[in-house]
Amino acid sequence: MKKSLLIALLIVSVAMSSVLFAAGAKEAAPAKEVYFLNFKPEIADVYETKIAPAFEKETGIKLKVVTAASGTYAQTLKSEIAKSNPPVIFQTNGPVGLAESKNYTADLKNTEFYKILSDKTMALGDGEKVLAIPYAVEGYGIIYNDAIMRKYFALPNKAVSIKSADEITNFATLKAVVEDMTKNKSALGIQGVFASTSLAAGNQWRWQTHLVNVPLYFEVRDANIAMGSKVPEIKFSYSANMKNIWDLYLNNSSTAVGLLGAKSVDDSMAEFALGQVAMVQNGNWGAGQILGVKGNKVSDADIKFMPIYTGAAGEEKYGLNVGTENYLCINSNASVEQQKMADQFLTWLFASETGKQFVKNDLMFITPFNTFKDSELPTDPLAKDVIRWMNKSGVSSIPWAFSMIPSEEWKNQFGAALADYSVGRKNWAEVEKVAVDAWKTEFKLTN
Amino acid sequence: MSALPQAGRILHLSWESVMQKSIQKYFVLFALPGLICFAIAFLIPMVMGVVLSFFKFTTVTDGTFIGIENYKRIFINNDFTSALWFTVKFTVVSVITINLGAFTLAMLLTRGIKGTNAFRTIFFMPNLIGGIVLGWIWQVIINGVLLPRGVTIVSDPKYGFWGLVVLMNWQNIGYMMVIYIAGIQNISHDLIEAAQIDGANKVTMLRSVILPSIMPSITICSFLTLTNGFKLFDQNLALTAGDPGKQTEMLALNIFNTFYGRSGFEGVGQAKAVIFTIIVAFIALTQLRLTRSKEVEA
């Protein structure tokens, strides 16, 4: 009796589950709604309070925006996409991320959105299919507060001969300036030259992804490896350069090394905005975090970029790290109607007059679309400075080689090793070993 | 005459069998609502979970069968074993400290001191706060305490370990205390009086009268703290999130991070979860049997 009941129950449960899931896949979202899973928490407000209402007003289509918490996009996407009302528009960070979501990514070749992309080679695809379209070009480097720099260069007892921050073009000069500034930090009224090297959980990406890009790029450049190719192992040949800049960050920071584990990127950006520090490594997406901070003491004209110098030979010829990790995809499992509405929204945002105003003034993207005229480029100081560096003669941008990192796990392991090094629980040779070994194992696991 | 009881018995028997038949007939019907709920909330997910651990998948409704590959992949690095070891250490320490603390408080608060009720309420209150909130609060407190030494809770795994122990004690002692108080108050006065007349001193009283009498409470409390310790997730996530470098990552968090944090490792996370369930079930059952055998009827 018991046994047969159990078996019956199992059969029923299996049958029911298949019914449930079949129903789940087909269940449609409420009419006229596009679900957009946003990647960037720093601009979530703009989507929710400005763009969505404007879009609904003009087209009658409701835009549902959900934003994943910092550092959790992949897992949020994974659980959202399995739901009965999955996101229609989602973001991917490049070839590695796309490979994971390929099963449910629609071909965008015939969309209006693809048509406005000026350089079609920038899109990511699979064979003939176009799967992901970039929407923002970004650049990062060391952001500095020129007012503090000018104050430093005016000091009578400064130890360097150069007269302005523009003249810093290599690591040796940067190091001399930074260390001398640390000596004079009370005269400059700052707590440290660099903002906190944020090492809290989920806040290590400025180092394990962005900073490591510089040595990584030099290594693949030397080996003549094309951007975007598969790299089965690395030697980390520019490891000493990574150590140079990492030590400089740690030793001239506003926060004691032991306390960095509690610091977030937001903390670092706030320190910069409040004028407590002179420099912070970040990208133009951080503009909102500087300009929007209450009590912001940095004037727009003083916010400038300089490249990340690490002491590599010939680094004077390189500028900011410019690239994109922001691609939009459309969910192929969504209904045709929804996919059309998604296309309509994206085209509206990047091509209509209303949409472009938001992109320029609120989202502050440097876009790769032909719908933007030169006069419509973003006006925030960081984006302007990225464009200035991109066009500077004699200097070429460092591409985003970190898209070749085999997995997120590599970044996490490397970030943890950097954190361990900062509190003295690992020496640099061990950090190097983690980088090299983890790359090899991760590549094997993911390919 | 002799036929009558016989007839009665036949009647009785047939009545019983009729009852039984109709019970059998309607049993399924009456049990159905409960069974459906049980199936949806527990049985189906569990079966699906076990099945999925043999699949490679990214979304739970779509996967390919790969046999025991996921189980093999658990051990490509020592994440899981180190998380297991950390969890075991944590559980041993916290089971001991929580139960000792709770029992001591229970003894103190059953002696009729003034304000007993207020104290009981206060000690119980931390249990009403959610794990994530507690994790954040204690992270701030512990970082504050560590500040003069120039370190934070994630500077060294030992801070994270003891931080978790302190947090769990703070949260759970009050709850366990209530169970112990109930046990202690249930001990019959006759028994205590008899022991006193027999000249039992305090130690003998504790060892030979109180402890054996509250054995059921000890069973419940140690069972709860043991499984709570093993399944700990929220507090772990909020307090250290496994930092530095996964060294304070417990089993549940490790499974979560494997499933959601690594692409292509969803099945491995699932396999870990299956092993986790087996371990927890095994430990809990063994422990239950061991303590049950010591229980006495007062």
Structural domains of chain A in order of their starting residue, each with its CATH number: 24-137+324-372 (3.40.190.10), 139-322+388-446 (3.40.190.10)
Q: What long-range pairs does B220-223 form, CB within 8 A, spacing at least 24?
A: B220/B179, B221/B98, B221/B99, B221/B102, B221/B176, B221/B179, B221/B180, B222/B95, B222/B99, B222/B287, B222/B291, B223/B284, B223/B287, B223/B288, B223/B291
Looking at residue A108, its pLDDT comes to 92
Find out whether A284 and A386 touch, Cβ atoms under 8 Å: yes
Nearest chain A CA: its distance from B20 CA (Å): 13
pLDDT score, position A279: 95
- What CA–CA distances, in Å, run from A366 to A361, A372, A443, B14, B250? 11, 9, 32, 87, 42
Asked whether the predicted pLDDT for residue A428 surpasses 80, the reply is: yes
Instruction: Flag whether pLDDT at A12 surpasses 50.
Output: no
Nearest CA in chain A to B79: A413
Residue A261, chain B, CB below 8 Å: the answer is yes
Q: What is the reported pLDDT for A186?
A: 92
Asked if A324 contacts A137 with a C-beta cutoff of 8 angstroms, the reply is yes
pLDDT of residue A270: 92
Are residues A244 and A172 in contact, defined by beta-carbon separation less than 8 angstroms?
Answer: no
Q: Contacts of residue B39 in chain A, CB cutoff 8 Å?
A: 9, 12-13, 16
Q: Does B76 touch chain A (CB under 8 A)?
A: yes
Partner B contacted by A80 (CB < 8 A): no
- Beta bridge partners, A138, equal A323
- Cβ contacts (< 8 Å) between A262 and chain B: which residues? 143, 152-154
The b/e string for B34-52 (b: 16+ C-beta within 10 A; e otherwise) is ebeeebeeebbeeebeeeb
Does residue A120 have a pLDDT over 90? no
Q: What angle in degrees, to the nearest 10, is found between the helix axes of A336-351 and A52-59?
A: 110
The DSSP string of A131-194 is EEEE--BEEEEEEEEHHHHHHHHT-TT-S-S--SGGG--SHHHHHHHHHHHHHTHHHHT-SEEE
Tell me the CB-side half-sphere exposure of residue A289, using CA atoms within 13 A: 20
The reported pLDDT for the residue numbered A14 is: 47
Task: Looking at the complex, report in whole angstroms how far the Cα of residue A208 sits from the nearest Cα belonging to chain B.
Answer: 13
**Cα(A148)–Cα(A379) distance, integer angstroms:** 23
Interface probe, candidates B20, B82, B152, B247, chain A, greatest A C-beta count within 10 A: B152
Q: Give B47's contacts in chain A (Cβ within 8 Å).
A: 10, 13-14
In chain B, which residues have their Cβ closer than 8 Å to the Cβ of A261? 152-155, 243-244
Contact (CB<8Å) B244/A261: yes
Residue in B150, B241, B243 nearest the CB of A256: B150
Taking CA atoms, what residue in B is nearest to A17? B44
For residue A393, the Cα-to-chain-centroid distance in whole angstroms is 26
Task: Give me the residue from A25, A407, A417 closest to B263, CB to CB.
Answer: A407
Chain B positions touching A81 (Cβ under 8 A) are 59
Interface test with A, best of B50, B59, B145 (most A CBs within 10 A): B59
- In percent, the amount of chain A with pLDDT more than 90 equals 54
Q: In chain B, which residue's Cα lies nearest the Cα of A99?
A: B263
Contact (Cβ atoms closer than 8 angstroms) between residue B221 and residue B99: yes
The string of DSSP codes covering A292-329 is TSTT----GGGEEEE------TTGGGEEEEEE---EEE
Q: What is the mean pLDDT of chain A?
A: 87
Cβ-based contacts of A408 with chain B (< 8 Å): 261-263
Q: Is the peptide bond before B244 cis (omega within 30 degrees of 0)?
A: yes
Q: Which of B44, B76, B241 sits opposite A13 (nearest CB)?
A: B44
pLDDT at B295: 65
What was the pLDDT predicted at B159? Answer: 92
Which tens digit of pLDDT belongs to each residue from A371-391? Answer: 888 788 787 889 889 988 888
Beta strands in A44-128 (DSSP E): 62-67, 89-92, 124-126
**Is pLDDT of B3 > 60?**
no
Among candidates A326, A283, A276, which has minimal Cα distance to A117? A326
Please determine, for residue A367, whether its predicted confidence score (pLDDT) is greater than 90: no
CA distance A313 to chain B (A): 33
Which of A17, A81, A258 faces B44 most closely, judged by CB atoms?
A17
- What lies within 8 Å, CB to CB, of A432 at 6+ separation is A236, A239
Q: Tell me whether residues A5 and B28 touch, CB distance under 8 A.
A: yes
Nearest CA in chain A to B256: A75
pLDDT (tens digit per residue) in A156-177: 999 999 999 999 999 999 999 9
Select the residue of B58, B155, B264 nearest A261 (Cβ to Cβ).
B155
Is A290 a residue whose pLDDT tops 90? Answer: no
- Contact check, Cβ <8 Å, B244/A262: no
Which of the residue ranges A29-33, A95-99, A101-105 would you say has the lowest mean pLDDT? A29-33
For B200-245, the pLDDT digits (tens) are 888 888 888 889 889 889 988 988 898 889 889 999 999 988 888 8
The model's confidence at residue A30, banded by pLDDT at 50, 70 and 90, is low
- Residue A256 corresponds to which tokens in the numbers above? 């004691």
- A219's CB contacts (< 8 A; 6+ apart) are A234, A235, A236, A237, A238
Residue A140, pLDDT above cutoff 70: yes
Joined tokens for residue A227:
């951007």
Q: Please compute the mean of the pLDDT values over residues A268-286 and round it to a whole number.
A: 93
| Residue A131 φ then ψ, to 5° | -110, -30
Q: What is the pLDDT of residues B90-131, one digit of tens each?
A: 999 999 999 999 999 999 988 888 888 888 888 888 888 888
Return the residue matching tokens 């809290």.
A200
Q: What is the pLDDT of residue A21?
A: 45
- What is the arithmetic mean of pLDDT over A198-210? 90
d(CA A229, CA B185): 72
Query: Given this model, what pLDDT does residue B297 score?
Result: 53
Task: Identify which has the larger pLDDT, A47 or A17.
Answer: A47
Over residues B54-69, the mean pLDDT reads 83
What SS3 state is found at B199? coil
How much is the average pLDDT of B163-177?
Answer: 93
Q: Given an 8 Å threshold on Cβ–Cβ distance, is B58 in contact with A100?
A: yes
Pairing of strands A33-38, A129-134: unpaired
Contact yes or no for A425 and B156 at CB 8 A: yes
Please list, in sequence order, all residues whose beta carbon lies within 8 angstroms of the beta carbon of residue B222, skipping any fewer than 6 positions away: B95, B99, B287, B291
Q: Tell me what pLDDT residue B289 has.
A: 84
Identify the three-state secondary structure at position A130.
strand
Q: Where are the alpha helices (DSSP H) in B53-115?
A: 69-73, 79-108
- Write phi, then psi, for A203 (nearest 5 degrees): -120, 20
Q: Do B152 and A259 touch (CB under 8 A)?
A: yes
Residue A84, CA distances (Å) to A14, A38, A63, B266 in order: 19, 18, 17, 20
Half-sphere exposure of A400 (CA within 13 A, CB side): 19
Best of A77, A104, A257, A259 to disrupt the B interface (most B CBs within 10 Å) is: A259
Residue B4 has pLDDT above 60, yes or no: no
Which residues of chain B neighbour A260 with C-beta distances below 8 Å?
152
Residues A185-197, mean pLDDT to the nearest whole number: 93
Distance from the B152 Cα atom to the nearest Cα atom in chain A, whole angstroms: 5
State the pLDDT at residue B271. 94
Q: Look at A82 and B60 and tell me if their CB atoms are within 8 Å.
A: yes
Partners of A140 in beta bridges:
A283, A321
Q: Does A256 touch chain B (CB under 8 A)?
A: yes
Size of interface A-B (CB pairs under 8 A): 110
Cα-based torsion angle of the residue sequence B192, B195, B201, B205 in order, rounded to the nearest 10 degrees: -50
pLDDT band at B179 (very low <50, low <70, confident <90, very high): very high
DSSP 3-state assignment of A262?
A: helix
Q: Return the number of other C-beta atoms located less than 10 Å from residue A270's C-beta.
A: 21
Is it the case that residue A20 has pLDDT exceeding 50? no
Listed residue (A171, A172, A180) closest to A148, CA to CA:
A180
Task: Give percent of chain A above pLDDT 70.
Answer: 93
Please give the average per-residue pLDDT across A418-426, as a whole number: 91
Query: What pLDDT is recorded for position A183?
Result: 93
Chain A residues whose CB is inside 8 A of the B33 CB are: none
Query: Which one of B44, B143, B245 has the shortest CB-CB distance to A262?
Result: B143
How far does the CA of residue A339 sit from the closest CA of chain B (Å)?
Answer: 20
Contacts of B266 in chain A (CB under 8 A): 78
The half-sphere exposure of B258 on its side-chain side, counting CA atoms within 13 A, is 28
Residue A237 has pLDDT above 90, yes or no: yes
Query: What is the per-residue burial (b if ≥16 Cβ within 10 Å, else e) of A218-234?
Result: bbbbeeeeeeeeebeeb
Can you say whether the dihedral through the CA atoms of B190, B196, B201, B202 is positive or negative? positive
Closest residue to A258, CB basis, from B58, B150, B262 = B150
Q: Do B151 and A103 touch (CB under 8 A)?
A: no
pLDDT-based confidence at residue A326 (cuts at 50, 70, 90): confident
Q: How far is B126 from chain A (nearest CA, A)?
A: 25
A11 touches chain B (CB under 8 A): no
Give, as one character, the DSSP assignment of residue A226: P
In this complex, is the C-beta atom of B238 within 8 Å of any C-beta atom belonging to chain A?
A: no
Give residue A445's pLDDT: 84
Q: Please give the pLDDT value at position A55.
A: 93
Answer yes or no: do A262 and B241 touch at CB < 8 A: no
10 Å CB burial of residue B296 (0-12, 13-18, 19+) is exposed
CB interface of A with B, residues 140-199, below 8 Å: 199
